Amino acid sequence: MVIQENVCLANKTTMKIGGNVKLFYVPETENELIDIAQTIYDSNERLLILSGGSNLLINDEKCFEKVIYMSSACLEMKELDNNKFYIGASNRIQKVISFVNARNHGGFESLIGLPAMFGGIIYMNAGIGGKGNSLFTISDFIDSVKVWDLYEKKLMELPVEHCEFSHRHSIFHNQRYVILGATIQCKKISCEESKKIKTERIKFCREKFEYGNGCFGTCFSVANYKILKMVSSYDKFRKIGKGRVTFGENNSNWLVNHGSGTYKDAIKLINTCKLLHRVCKKNIKCEVIIWD
């Protein structure tokens, strides 16, 4: 296992915000991952697992003790019978899509624009479309998820119905499990068809998304769009993030770092949105995971 010291977490997230971590573990096998995760868990330390870092807001005034980076531990991908595949948690979604497409399977090509690993995608139940107008989520393709259970200290295969998937949520938010991979059920799809979907989606992302110098995807999984629009368009609110972090001009639910944005800038904007929702008696739920 590679262990790096004093690693800057900002560089490991798409938002480009975050403090340092004293010990940055990069396990190279499933067993190394399980060992280090269980050791940290047993010593009552905070267990922080980082995959693509595309849904994380990390405090940049903090120095964290330990972080496990998922890049190398679970890289297995294999075709099974009956349109099924086993996909390890460390694989980038682009690699997963290429792998299944090359075997004339797929169905989730539109996830091509996510800078994420498969484990992070399962954890977040990532998908296309918002709450109420969702086109699909990854849970539509999952048969079972292979996890390490930190309570029971054993490997488990959780069937999809036990994963409590809902909009951008899953049982994995309870921090009991380390996701190692999943068995997925794909659709049959020709290479031409999958290529067309990917090309269209990439074009859509390039035209519509505001990447700035760092960004998340959607910040809130539940929110009132009128309120978000107000926060993203009025100068008074834009000043809250000091202009360094703002909501997108076209994507009012996207938080964009314009270069020198800080954790405080982002948190102030998020808290302002929460306050406005409370005042207007509207529901709001943060999609982004915050490491405070």
Ligand X SMILES: Cc1cc2nc3c(=O)[nH]c(=O)nc-3n(C[C@H](O)[C@H](O)[C@H](O)COP(=O)(O)OP(=O)(O)OC[C@H]3O[C@@H](n4cnc5c(N)ncnc54)[C@H](O)[C@@H]3O)c2cc1C
Residue 215 contacts ligand X per CB under 6 A: yes
Q: Is 214 in the site for ligand X (CB under 6 A)?
A: no
Residue whose CB is less far from ligand X, 82 or 174:
174
Which 37-56 residues touch ligand X, going by CB under 6 A?
Answer: 49-56
H or E stretch covering 204: helix 191-208
| Ranges within 224-253 binding ligand X (CB under 6 A) | none
The CB-nearest residue to ligand X is 120
- In the shown chain, the binding pattern of residues 93 to 122 toward ligand X, with x for contact by CB under 6 A and - for none, equals --------------------xxxxx-xxx-
Contact 28, 2 (CB under 8 A): yes
DSSP state for residue 230 in the 8-state scheme? H
CA-to-CA separations, 78 to 1, 86, 218, 264, in angstroms, rounded: 24, 5, 31, 43
| Cα dihedral 264/266/270/276 (nearest 10) | 80
Among 7, 67, 87, 179, binds ligand X (CB under 6 A): 179
* Whether 45 contacts 83, CB under 8 Å: no
Strand locations in the chain, DSSP E? 2-8, 20-26, 49-50, 56-58, 63-69, 77-79, 84-88, 105-106, 127-128, 136-137, 142-149, 154-159, 177-185, 187-188, 215-218, 220-222, 245-247, 254-257, 285-286, 289-291
Is residue 181 a contact residue for ligand X (CB under 6 A)?
A: no
Stretch that binds ligand X, among 98-106, 155-163, 208-216, 236-244 (CB under 6 A): 208-216
Among 36, 89, 158, 184, binds ligand X (CB under 6 A): 89
Query: Closest approach of Cβ 53 to ligand X, in Å?
Result: 5
255 binds ligand X (CB under 6 A): no
Q: Which residues pair with 155 in a beta bridge?
A: 148
Minimum Å distance from CB 115 to ligand X? 5
Indicate whether 88 belongs to the interface with ligand X (CB under 6 A): no
Given the rule CB under 6 A, which residues bind ligand X?
14, 49-56, 70, 89, 113-117, 119-121, 123-124, 126-128, 172, 178-179, 209, 215-217, 289
